[in-house]
Structure 1
Amino acid sequence: MNQNQVTASLAIVAVSNGTTVNGYVRVDNGPLIQAWTKGSDKYTPDFEALAEDKRPIVIVVLRDVSSGRILIPSKLVFKYNGTELAFGEDGLCNTEQFAGTFKRVTGYNVSVDSQSYPMTGLRVMKNLVPISGYDNDRITVSGEVEIGGHTVSFNELATDVVIQESSGKQYELFITSDKGTQIINPSEVLTLKASLYSGGDLINDLGNITLQWKKQLPSGEANLGTQGTQNIAANDIDGSLVVSCEAVQNAKVIAKGFITVFDLSDPILAAFKVKGLASDGQIYPGETGTLTPYAYKRQSGEEVAVASWDFATFDGENNPFTLSGKDSNKFQGKDIALTYTDAARAKTFRVIATNTNPIEL
């Protein structure tokens, strides 16, 4: 990366006692997408028909940014659409609305950076339609981790559950990475893979469908290639980078997916602080969030002064999105005020910030 520039996209971190913890939610045997056929009890995929060890399982991966070490949470709280899940001695969820739908699994082996770690995960045991209607749902994970004798809390990290009516023509695209979303060593390379689903079924033969990979930069999109997988190296990332992949058929984009990757090998990183929202990553009627980017030193967590940032704002389809009171989707400043009205208008609000002044190490 350019040592005098850092870029931040929306991310969730926790800072305590000089230690920065970076975390993300991963779904093994996923993604969490389920289609249903109206007027029937047919679901695709049918989670209940799968062997238990083949059903989706949600885990959270935490890392000490200063050392790159993987951290094992000492406490985990799982929520489904904001409702906390409780579990019996057999591990099965006994929360009334979701009884038996999920199972808390301990000692699940999670592979990160070619090493295996025993962790606690949330396994899907039953079909997710229609336990909360037929809209998309959300699983969040929060908890605590022990670092150097101190307890560090981390906020709700989330993954979406996509529920769609099956018509045979609806598409969803998901991007996964072979090594998670974080580069620790400068020579490390992440391999991103795009998976295209129609009606909940994975499409193995794309036929006349082309995949178009792009980098999402404050200045706009930059094409990467049309291959099935996309390699991302540390030099491609200024702190963090949003990568998208479009599935294109007959010159029309039929599905699009996003993933954010982080370069933690850099001496200076960037992230967002979020204030004014009851839950990071979500906004409710009447709320206004303040999104403030900041730069910090990797080894110490010490913040680095940045006078101003270049912002670029987008909607869920990555189209330029202009906030109320702004003349363009690109502007300078110290932070962003995001109202519920604007967020609802964008459906999914995305922001990228890049510092405008050289940063001193």
Structure 2
Amino acid sequence: MTVPRPHREDVFIAVAGLLGGLLLWSLGLYSQGNHALLPPWVTLVPLGALAVLELLRRTMPRTALNAGTAAVVMDPFTPGSIVSLLMFADIVYAAVVYGTPASARRIPVTTGMITLAVTIGFLAWWRDPAALLIGLVTGLVSYGPATTGAIVRNHREAAEAARLRAEQTALLAEMDRAQAVVAERARMARELHDMVANHLSAIAIHSTAALSLDDAATTRQALTVIRENSVEGLAEMRRLIGLLRDSSGDPEPAAAPTLAGLDALVEQARANGASSGLTFMLHETRDAGARLPAPVELAAYRIVQESLTNAIKHADEGEVLVEVSAGGGRSLLVTVTSAFGRRPGPRAPGSGAGLVGMQERVALLDGTFEAGPAASPGQGAGKIWRVRAELPVPDDKEPSA
């Protein structure tokens, strides 16, 4: 068995105790005078043993306490040394502070019972109040250090628990901050995609048409659409950059898009998709005077915007129908349908980020979202691509008292 290396402070305590005890012994100063069963030199035996055990007070506290108890029991049969009693008291203290939790709970109780038993025993034996001094000394070198060690240990454990709680709080705060950053980045990505993708898609389609068709009128019309979408896209980018900055220089932030702008949105899509043989229709049956929460209107607007962009990029020739109506209960139902199949001619590439963005917007509002091919409700065997989103509308009315 390898004995752990003693702590530097323990070495200092052991050396100081041994030298102090030797000094008192050389001067003939004993705790019990010269009236003892054993000669004075035997005082050095418990003194040396306790000094050695001080080296183990931190690394092997239980062993030091058990052996120290045997040494201090031997001390009354010698002339005695006050230093031996002090070192034993320190060993009891260390056993509580550095020992196991079970030892820390058991030692104060045990030393208290021993102190009480010694006091009662000597009173019954001597039948003299002076026996109380024996009990007092026993309590000072056993119960007192054990109680002090328990108090110190409790304070240290409380401080460690507080430190761990502070670390956990800091960790949770960092996790919350990281999640907030991720959520904000996702929101910015959705806004950037929804605001700019429509214009860039139109630019890509019309620039491809201008390059592939050798016709001056078609080229001029395509360049006109490209310029309009470039200007509008640049304005949207400037608005987004202004929102991201602490101070954009604007007297007030730009208002978020609402359902009132659907007519303009469909009209813009009609201009951008005319060359692809697409027609756009808006069918709105909801109460136009009813006000909806801003997050619901923004989500509905962006879903329509992205659906129209996808239709311009991928839909076959035919009608693109936008329907906005009141769903079951308090909800807003947005449906966009377009022809679906193999589309000839120039088309813009897609990444799927638009569908992900729409799904995230609906999920944030606890709504339902569907997007995919479906059977056409009309005659024929054609298929349509349908985007359907149901957005719950919270009841903002406060309950009556």
Q: Which has the larger radius of gyration?
A: 2
TM-score range, shorter chain: under 0.3
RCO higher in structure (CA 8 A, sep ≥6): 1
TM-score (norm 2): 0.21
The structure whose residues are more often helix, as a share, is 2
TM-score (norm 1): 0.23
